[in-house]
């Protein structure tokens, strides 16, 4: 499964293409992996609440059928859409999510950054004080602020229909992060969002997309 680089494409046609591909695929249809970036757009998941969109201010809001809550897509972010038949691949949704997160963590490691999972909050996070520290997250989570000291660098939102996946993962590379301040990212008020650029990693969208594409192809293989 080689990644297909789609470049910058509008969100809505991409969403419709994923749904159409998934609805029409047969048991022998090869899996696909699309990598792209989108013009500015807020996308709302099935459990998203309108009050988490504080001020869209001209950026379109698209209601989707993926899991999760609201997020932002924009230029400088790599978006990966794995279109995979999980029944044929031989693993379940929980394992699929773990493999996507592992792909993002390994992509960050390629750039020297340590990514972390936070229990109950899909996505990948980095330490704001030292994104390059290999130390595990330790100590009790602060109940009022489970993300204290962390910034979110990759978001997940998936849909599984008849054992087949669509939607996927986004990795922030070098974005205008301001629109994230207009929402409660993934439903968490005050959750800070970062990209590789703000934590001191200089790379191109193309390089980050190629690395993420390779990691996804490796870790999502049967």
Number of domains in the chain: 1
Domain that holds residue 103: 3-131+148-219
Q: What is the CATH number of the domain that holds 21?
A: 3.30.930.10
DSSP-derived pairing of the beta strands 121-127 and 150-161: antiparallel
What residue has token string 């390994």?
Answer: 106
Please report whether residue 154 resides in a domain. Answer: yes
Please report whether residue 72 resides in a domain. Answer: yes
Please report whether residue 212 resides in a domain. Answer: yes
**186 catalytic per annotation:** yes
Q: Across the chain, what does the average pLDDT equal?
A: 94
pLDDT tens-digit readout, 151-166: 999 999 999 999 999 9
pLDDT at 148 over 70: yes
Task: Name the pTM for this structure.
Answer: 0.95
Residue 139 has a pLDDT of 60
Residue 122 has a pLDDT of 87
Residue 2 has a pLDDT of 85
Please report whether residue 49 resides in a domain. Answer: yes
pLDDT tens-digit readout, 4-58: 999 999 999 999 999 999 999 999 999 999 999 999 999 999 988 999 999 999 9
Please report whether residue 143 resides in a domain. Answer: no
Please report whether residue 142 resides in a domain. Answer: no
Catalytic residue among 33, 79, 186, 209: 186
pLDDT tens-digit readout, 53-93: 999 999 999 999 999 899 999 999 999 999 999 999 999 99
Residue 190 has a pLDDT of 79
Query: Who contacts 169 (Cβ-Cβ below 8 Å, separation ≥6)?
Result: 79, 80, 100, 103, 104, 154, 155, 156, 212, 216
Confidence of residue 144 (pLDDT cuts 50, 70, 90): low
Please report whether residue 196 resides in a domain. Answer: yes
Report yes or no: 203 and 111 within 8 Å, Cβ to Cβ. Answer: yes
Please report whether residue 141 resides in a domain. Answer: no
In DSSP terms, 18 is beta-bridged to none
Residue 30 has a pLDDT of 97
């Amino acid at each position: 499964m080689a990644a297909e680089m789609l470049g910058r494409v509008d969100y809505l046609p991409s969403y419709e293409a994923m749904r159409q591909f998934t609805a029409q695929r047969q048991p022998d249809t090869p899996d696909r992996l699309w990598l792209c970036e989108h013009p500015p757009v807020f996308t709302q998941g099935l459990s998203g609440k309108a009050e988490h969109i504080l001020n869209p201010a001209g950026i379109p809001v698209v209601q989707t059928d993926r899991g999760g809550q609201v997020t932002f897509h924009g230029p400088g972010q790599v978006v990966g859409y794995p279109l995979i038949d999980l029944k044929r691949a031989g693993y379940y949704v929980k394992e699929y999510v773990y493999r996507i997160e592992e792909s993002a963590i390994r992509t960050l490691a390629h750039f020297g950054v340590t990514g972390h999972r936070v229990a109950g909050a899909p996505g990948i996070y980095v330490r704001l004080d030292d994104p390059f520290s290999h130390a595990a997250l330790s100590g009790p989570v602060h109940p009022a602020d489970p993300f204290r000291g962390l910034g979110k660098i990759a978001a997940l939102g998936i849909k599984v229909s008849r054992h087949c996946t669509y939607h996927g993962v986004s990795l922030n590379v070098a974005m205008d992060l301001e629109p994230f301040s207009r929402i409660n990212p993934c439903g968490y008020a005050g959750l800070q969002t970062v990209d590789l650029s703000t934590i001191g990693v200089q790379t191109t969208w193309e390089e980050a997309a190629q690395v993420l594409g390779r990691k996804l192809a490796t870790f999502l293989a049967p």
